């Protein structure tokens, strides 16, 4: 009975030895793959950081563009209307006529009434 048990232990020990060698070989083969995967993950992280920085930069430029557009709408266009008033007053030399000033205010460059007064000289 003990001979049979010794044979079982011997075959189990031999099997575990071969399994250990096989696993050692597998780990040795997978180590470069794991290193490559770590390198790929680091590269992905770095590229994503650059992508987020690019998105932030594009968003900043878009915000500045919107601010410039709003500035043009709320500052430059009223100044153009004032320029029309100054031109009309300078050309007519009529400083007391409020009608021409109101007409000039109404005659903004994009206004449908602007073409009526644009020809005044």
Q: How confident is the chain (121 residues) per 10-residue block, as mean pLDDT?
A: 70 81 84 91 96 97 92 82 80 69 61 46 40
pLDDT at residue 7, as a whole number: 74
**From the CB of residue 72, how many other CB atoms can be counted at a distance below 10 Å?**
10
Give pLDDT, residue 116: 43
Gap between the Cα atoms of 51 and 46, Å rounded: 9
pTM greater than 0.95: no
Where in the chain are the domains?
Answer: 2-118
Residue 94 φ/ψ, nearest 5 degrees: -105, 95
DSSP string covering 52-82, please? HHHHHHHHHHHHHHHHHHHHIIIIIHHHHHH
pLDDT of residue 11: 80
Tokens of 1: 């009975």
For CA atoms 8, 10, 13, 19, the dihedral sign is: negative
Measuring CA to CA, how many Å separate 46 from each of 49, 50, 59? 5, 6, 20
- CB 104, CB 81: distance < 8 Å: yes
Residue 94 gets which letter from DSSP? -
What per-residue confidence (pLDDT) applies to 29? 84
């Amino acid at each position: 009975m003990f001979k049979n048990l010794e044979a079982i232990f011997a075959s189990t020990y031999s099997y575990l030895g071969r399994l250990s060698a096989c696993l050692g070989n597998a780990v040795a083969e997978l180590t470069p793959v794991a290193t490559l995967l770590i390198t790929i993950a680091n590269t992905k992280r770095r590229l994503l950081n650059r992508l987020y920085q690019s998105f932030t930069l594009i968003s900043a430029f878009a915000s500045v563009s919107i601010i410039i557009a709003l500035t043009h709408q709320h500052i430059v266009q009223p100044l153009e209307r004032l320029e029309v008033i100054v031109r009309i007053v300078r050309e007519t030399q009529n400083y007391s006529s409020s009608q021409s000033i109101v007409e000039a205010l109404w005659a903004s460059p994009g206004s449908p009434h602007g073409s009526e007064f644009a020809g005044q000289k």
